[in-house]
Structure 1
Amino acid sequence: MFPLIGNVPKNIKTNQVDFCCLFEKYLIIYQQLLTAALKRHQITIIDIARELNLSKSTVSRALTGHPKVSTATREAVLALAEKLDYQRNMIAFNLVTSKTLTIGIIVPEFVTSFFPQVIIGAQEAAAKAGYNIIVSQSNESYETEVANAKVMLANRVDGVLVSLSKETRNFDHLKIFQRKGIPIVFFNRVCDEMQVPKVVVNDYDGAFSAVEHLIQTGKKRIAHLAGPDSLIISRQRLNGYLDALRKYNQPIVEELIIPYDLTTGKVKIYVNHLLALKEPPDALFAINDPTAIEAMQIIKQKGLRIPDDMAVVGFSNDYASALMEPSLTTVAQPMREIGSTAVQLLLDQMDRDVANWKAVTRTLKAELIIRGSSRPLATAPPV
């Protein structure tokens, strides 16, 4: 502790006296701050246990949501912890429990609103269970996805949620989690090769309903910008498209089906190709909303009317789809529910021994939302 400066001798010059007085004031402030810091006490489990007359182990279990702690006790502990501004010592907690209370999430991109919305749903569900999340994106790159997985392992996540990149065909980097006893759940873009929980929407039904709607509005030549064949969602949506055509005895025209690898800039090439056909399509079903939105812009630039000359339907109900002119008809996915459901499946796995892990698949409903980019049913000619 610094000693306080006493009286300054009178023979010292005025500027020296001013300096010493100023220095003395700073030292007094420093003393006060240091004293306050020394008096400050870091609240621990021991303090909460003493205040509530509980054991340390009971308080610890209450703070981690242990099922054997009564609701009344848990609420009392949490209320006092909040009142005292208790902060868990995560280093000590990790050493004792071998847990980090962290969930990793790997997604292929942040360009569309789909994955951010899924992450919001996952984060909300994780927070309710006392977990934090770490998010990384592969940018549709297999190599980056492998690097993402290594980061999650290095951070000792308790579990991981994954949606695959369009390039991923080898899954060794994800099987490591299983070998280490770290539960993994796939969502949206899933891997059939690994027997783990998955969360998907009914892509087949969603695509079928979209194409059925176009047929019922009188469209005869319906094109499809399909996604990468490596993705199960692409194959499911393609099958829904094909079966809708078959049901209504519509011809399947190969030149109207264009595989699209989701690379930026290619939509313009493909749409211009379709419009240049001797018999161009009168409708387009796109693999997702960003593709449909870009296609709409190109169609309008060509002077064509939407939906009269060419109707357009997307998939996912991206935020921008309702802002287009005309607004985009789309198949809505329950984005936040996908995230929250994936977290719940992950938490279920965490509560089980590895030998009792279950490879369940949750299929959520996709819903057709009819907007201005396809002719309303009331004005449609008979099929």
Structure 2
Amino acid sequence: MNKPQITIKDIARALGVSPSTVSRALKDNPDISLETREIIHKYAHEHNYKPNALALNLRTSRSNTIGVIVPQLVHHFFSCVLSGIEKTATDAGYNILVAQSNEEYEQEVKIVHSFLATRVCGVITSLAKDTSQYDHYQELLDNNIPIVFYDRICTGINTERVVVDDYAGAFSAVEYMIQTGCKRIFFYSSLPHLEISKNRRNGYLDAMKKYKIPVDNSMIKLCDTREQAIAITPDLLEKQERPDAFFAINDETASGILYACKLVGMKVPEEVSICGFTDGAIAQSTDPKLTTVEQHGQEVGESAIDILIHKIEGKMEDKRGSNRIVKTNLLVRGTTK
């Protein structure tokens, strides 16, 4: 009887590596060390490994459907990104297939696998908050499906990215509040492993450093939702060394801070200044209206789909992963002096 054909997963299990590592090694991808490639090639040869013909056919067949992953559609920024993607894709003759991760890693993995099964020709994606492993995205690349990350990007994979200038946006917001007399500015951040959190935190810290204003750990809080902001802000405002300003990672969180200030009777902006980040509908519906950093989500979406189509159609001059940065601007409204 013939022995069953071994698969990439069988090789990975035997050698204690990931299937994506085996796949890349068999293609002599330079990202895998020469020693590892030789071990995998030797094992594959000794066990008579042959590529799956159906899988090869799936990888080489091309559709005109582009998969788009959105962390949460309810957020103004992501809906603006999607709007930019949709119009440009339609004009170029492509369909889009939109899926929502709901900020969950497991759901994101399922979506990627469904995109593989659907044989999309490319993927535009923004990471869920708790995503810290990226094998599912490497699997797309191993199947010759190009990826463009936007906003919450993955730095561990060499592919194209579109980001807003989070650092400059944060710096300008905090600098403005300092220049209007604020000295004890708290920063409400998202999860620290996300690139947007790192960049906005660095902008905040550098603005404070420029004006020689000390920052201690108590001034940086992990808080990125309206509900969390309403829960933790009142206690901070009742302390003797209370904040006189807040810079929030997004407008939803900033609106929660504003609500909490009203709960404890603090006047905004006379006693407390507040600045958000996004400029969605919520920023213009609060009372007073939110000062915020405008992200230009539609431009992010247009840039991402433009890059992806160039990748799909082989028109990218630079084959290496690169960044496209969309500039931000500060919109001063009623929650700052």
- Range moving further from structure 2, 280-289 or 346-355: 346-355
Aligned residue in 2 for 1:58: none
Cα pair 1:114 1:316 within 8 Å, conserved: yes
2:64 equivalent to 1:101? yes
Aligned residue in 2 for 1:126: 89
Give the Å deviation of 1:264. Answer: 6.4
Give the Å deviation of 1:208. Answer: 0.3
Cα pair 1:181 1:354 within 8 Å, conserved: no
Q: Which among 178, 182, 188 is matched to residue 145 of structure 2?
A: 182
| Structure 2: distance between partners of 1:352 and 1:192 | 23
> What are the superposed Cα offsets for residues 205-259 of structure 1, whole Å, 9 maximum, x if unpaired?
0000000000010011101101111210001000100000010111113211112
Cα pair 1:206 1:240 within 8 Å, conserved: yes
Cα pair 2:226 2:253 within 8 Å, conserved: no
The aligned amino acid for 2:314 is R
| Structure 1: distance between partners of 2:280 and 2:321 | 30
Give the Å deviation of 1:359. Answer: 0.9
Q: Which among 288, 297, 316 is matched to residue 250 of structure 2?
A: 288
Give the Å deviation of 1:128. Answer: 0.9
1:265 counterpart SS class: helix
Give the Å deviation of 1:100. Answer: 2.0
- Of structures 1 and 2, the larger Rg is shown by 1
Moved beyond 4 Å, runs of 4+: 353-356
Q: Alignment identity in percent? A: 41
Aligned residue in 1 for 2:158: 195
> What are the superposed Cα offsets for residues 271-312 of structure 1, whole Å, 9 maximum, x if unpaired?
123213221101000001110011111111211111011110
How do 1:172-251 residues align onto structure 2 when only pairs under 5 Å count?
A: 172-251=135-214
The aligned amino acid for 2:257 is A
2:292 equivalent to 1:345? no
Cα pair 1:349 1:358 within 8 Å, conserved: no
2:79 equivalent to 1:116? yes
2:260 equivalent to 1:325? no
| Structure 2: distance between partners of 1:251 and 1:111 | 36
1:308 counterpart SS class: coil
Cα pair 1:256 1:274 within 8 Å, conserved: no
| Structure 2: distance between partners of 1:358 and 1:117 | 27
The aligned amino acid for 2:165 is N
Aligned residue in 2 for 1:276: 238
> What are the superposed Cα offsets for residues 86-142 of structure 1, whole Å, 9 maximum, x if unpaired?
xxxxxxxxx9x9332111001111231110110000001101110111111111110
The aligned amino acid for 2:268 is I
Q: Which among 270, 274, 277 is matched to residue 308 of structure 1?
A: 270
**Cα–Cα, structure 1 residues 128 and 358, in superposed 2: closer, same or farther, change >3 Å?**
farther
Give the Å deviation of 1:192. Answer: 0.5
How do 1:22-33 residues align onto structure 2 when only pairs under 5 Å count?
A: none
TM-score normalised by L of structure 1: 0.70
The aligned amino acid for 2:277 is F
| Structure 2: distance between partners of 1:219 and 1:247 | 14
Q: Which runs of 5+ in 2 are unaligned?
A: 1-57
2:332 equivalent to 1:373? no
Q: Which runs of 5+ in 1 are unaligned?
A: 1-94, 376-383
The aligned amino acid for 1:268 is I
Give the Å deviation of 1:353. Answer: 8.8
1:214 counterpart SS class: helix
